[in-house]
Amino acid sequence: MDTISISTEKKNEVIDITEDVERIVSKSRISEGICLVYVPHSTAAITINEDYDKKVCIDLLDAMNKLIPEGIWQHDREDGNGAAHVKSAIIGPSVTIPIKDSKLILGTWQGIMLCEFDGPRDRKIVVICK
């Protein structure tokens, strides 16, 4: 098990962590298996999407903000981040990627993304290769 540490800078942002995960896979020396990427935070998420055109990340955040507005959730009475919890639950806390020939099997344009919905914060991402 390895950990990636990231300090996010914005309330909502998407950060490409593909290279960090690829380094861990390479270090693991696993030629064939799976890689689990998991974020143990309830207001952040992990997804796979296009990493070539960075506007895709902006589109994802814009869509989430339109679908899940701020300030209308029961949890907002506790600490004002109800929308962040809903967004992260929809995207999800993890992805699993196959490994073949010691490389992640990702599509041509795919990358692994950390989605921050309640930043700025210090986030940990757990990566397990088996």
CATH number of the domain bearing residue 28: 2.60.120.460
Mean pLDDT rounded to a whole number for the chain: 96
The domain in which residue 66 lies consists of 2-129
Judge contact between 112 and 78, C-beta under 8 A.
no
- Cα 56 from Cα 38, distance rounded (Å): 21
Q: Tens of pLDDT along the chain (130 residues)?
A: 999 999 999 999 999 999 999 999 999 999 999 999 999 999 999 999 998 898 999 999 999 999 999 999 989 899 999 999 999 999 999 999 999 999 999 999 999 999 999 999 999 999 999 9
Judge contact between 118 and 64, C-beta under 8 A.
no
Reported pTM: 0.95
Q: pLDDT tens, 101-125?
A: 999 999 999 999 999 999 999 999 9
